[in-house]
Amino acid sequence: MQACQRTINEPYRNDVLSNVNGECLRLAVFEGEYRWHCHPDSDELFLVAAGKLQIDLAGNRTVELGEWQYAVVPAGTAHRTRAIGRTVNITFEKQHAGTVFIEPAAGGLPASNPQPPGIGTRRENP
């Protein structure tokens, strides 16, 4: 996996590594931010392998993750990810999970969140 992420030169790349038991394992290498969106029928787990990742949530809450820390965004929760520098993260979600993109209101936050703002967060360092 380390060799794979070193060969990626684009500012954003998100590849499926494997599908197991109806779940999808992805590797994302990116800089900058991704659009506001939600997954109506799937939780999404983010595990940072390198760099720092901020996850913004509707309701004006941000969770910051460092290397080998993870967080779970519950299904239906509006969120966007922002990489602090070049970031490599692994995500787990349902295979073929739907994505709904959300237009931000004034101030850059979604006008509403389909689910009360919140995140199931556990951070662990090895």
DSSP character at residue 74: P
Query: Which has more pLDDT, 10 or 120?
Result: 10
Sign of CA dihedral 111, 77, 50, 54: positive
pTM of this prediction? 0.78
Report d(CA 21, CA 3) in Å as an integer.
26
Topology given in CATH for the domain delimited by 2-105+112-122: Jelly Rolls (2.60.120)
> 37 CB contacts (<8 Å, ≥6 apart)?
78, 79, 80, 99, 100, 101, 102
> 21 CB contacts (<8 Å, ≥6 apart)?
none
Place of tokens 């922002």: 82
Summarize pLDDT for 86-106 with one digit per residue, the tens: 999 999 999 988 999 987 765
Summarize pLDDT for 22-78 with one digit per residue, the tens: 999 999 998 999 999 999 999 999 999 999 999 999 888 999 999 999 999 999 999
Give the domain ranges of the chain. 2-105+112-122
